[in-house]
Amino acid sequence: MNERDAELLERALDLAERGRRSASPNPLVGCVIARDGRVLGEGWHERRGEPHAERNALDACSEPVVGATAYVSLEPCSHYGRQPPCADALLAAGIARVVCAIGDPNPEVDGRGLERLRAAGVAVELAGGRLEARARRQNAAFRTHAVHGRPFVLLKLAATLDGRIATSAGESRWISAPESRALVHAWRAEFDAVAVGSGTALADDPELLPRDVEPPAERLPLRVVFDRRGRLEADSKLARSAAASAVVRVAPPGAPAPPQGVEPLTASSPAEALALLGARELTSLLVEGGAELAAGLLQAGLVDALALFLAPKLIGGDGRPLLGPLGVTALAAAPQLLETSVRQIGPDVLVEGLLHPLP
């Protein structure tokens, strides 16, 4: 790859982001068709059931593409689904070279798309390095679901500088600043599902829907309450809005029935619950608390990434802690963030990182 190749593949990754709120459960994919560095056409995958990025890019070309290069953010598919194989479309168009950011872990693809292209005489290059890393992060949800059969889990927490999420009297509104809360609403518009524990549902009575996001959310996330004691109330905002937007209550066998309109999901463990959500083709789950649910998911190794908003406030030791017990008796056993980053969000500080390497 030369410098222009890298620029055009970066453009394909940028195009893929345009499907962020609509493509799931399909991956984010962008494609640029170019000859001698000159762009002939570009496209991206917008939503399931509609043409894939490669097809859209080919259709956007105003001249023949025989001998051209396709820059694709994800390995072209090689199987028939709701759309025909993209590898075949590239071959039929006469593409001579494909530059790809990363392979597709979907068992129906998993290298077969690139191999089909190579077998037909197409020169295939994988980017590696920085562009591969970006592509892996970009499709973390799709890749996690394909490999593990469960949603990618982002744990969002907000606390004071001394790690408190509420005062001793239970007051928690608002720990984080308006700018931080606006960012979380934008995340809700991107995720397939949003979850809280029953303690948070009782204390904060959240609705868990994206508000005031631009552009408006195209689809609303499934709302999930982990409620092993069956405490979700019928007059809660979640239960009262369930007819307009689905709410699922996760509880073990034998738990009381949820309020009318709330769908029961029976699971004996967080891992079983996530597997059941994954079976519904939910690829991403934003967990917004509370302390007990967060600790349980961390202990089970089910958190993929953490986003911790730290507000410039102090509550003290009589405040409620950020996390429930993790059972850590040695520092070597403590969950540790990888690839951490820190940024300012209004007056707050946002610390982000992975809990384990992405698939």
Peptide bond into 41 cis (omega under 30): no
**Which residues are CB-contacts of 168 (< 8 A; sequence separation ≥ 6)?**
318, 319, 320
Enter the tokens of residue 87: 């590898």
Whole-number pLDDT of residue 335: 92
Q: pLDDT tens for residues 185-226?
A: 999 999 999 999 998 888 888 999 998 888 877 889 999 999
* pLDDT band of 357, cuts 50, 70, 90: very high
Question: How far apart, in whole angstroms, are the C-alpha atoms of residue 53 and residue 37?
Answer: 19
* pLDDT band of 66, cuts 50, 70, 90: very high
Q: pLDDT tens for residues 241-258?
A: 998 899 999 999 999 999
- Cα dist from 271 to 86, 150, 194, whole Å: 34, 9, 16
Q: pLDDT tens for residues 11-49?
A: 999 999 999 999 999 999 999 999 999 999 999 999 998
**Greater confidence, 354 or 317?**
354
What is the pairing mode between strands 247-251 and 222-226? parallel
- CA dihedral (69, 73, 79, 82) in degrees, to 10, reads -110
* pLDDT band of 81, cuts 50, 70, 90: low
Average pLDDT score, the chain = 93
* Residue 1 clears pLDDT 90, i.e. is over it: no
Overall average pLDDT of the 230-244 stretch: 92
Q: pLDDT tens for residues 273-315?
A: 999 999 999 999 999 988 899 999 999 999 999 999 999 999 9
- Cα dist from 1 to 8, 63, 71, 101, whole Å: 11, 24, 11, 11
Peptide bond into 215 cis (omega under 30): yes
Question: How far apart, in whole angstroms, are the C-alpha atoms of residue 163 and residue 323?
Answer: 9
Question: How far apart, in whole angstroms, are the C-alpha atoms of residue 8 and residue 36?
Answer: 11
pTM: 0.93
Amino acid in position 30: G
Overall average pLDDT of the 158-184 stretch: 91
* Residue 80 clears pLDDT 80, i.e. is over it: no
SS3 (DSSP) at 5: helix
Comparing C-alpha atoms, which of 71, 80, 188, 81 is closest to residue 127? 71
Whole-number pLDDT of residue 148: 97
SS3 (DSSP) at 249: strand
* pLDDT band of 107, cuts 50, 70, 90: confident
* Residue 139 clears pLDDT 70, i.e. is over it: yes
353, exposed or middle or buried, with CB in 10 Å at 0-12, 13-18, 19+? middle
Instruction: Render 86-130 in DSSP notation, one character per residue.
Output: HHHHHHHHT--EEEES-----TTTTTHHHHHHHHTT-EEEE--HH
The catalytic residue among 42, 46, 54, 190 is: 54
Q: How far apart are the first and last CA of the chain?
A: 24
Q: Is 75 a catalytic residue?
A: no
**Greater confidence, 240 or 173?**
240
Residue at token pair 């979700």:
232
Instruction: Render 190-203 in DSSP notation, one character per residue.
Output: HSSEEEEEHHHHHH
Amino acid in position 248: V
Enter the tokens of residue 54: 């490669």
Share of the chain above pLDDT 70, in %: 99
Overall average pLDDT of the 87-107 stretch: 94
What domains sit in the chain, N to C, each tagged with a CATH number?
3-138 (3.40.140.10), 147-354 (3.40.430.10)
Whole-number pLDDT of residue 79: 64
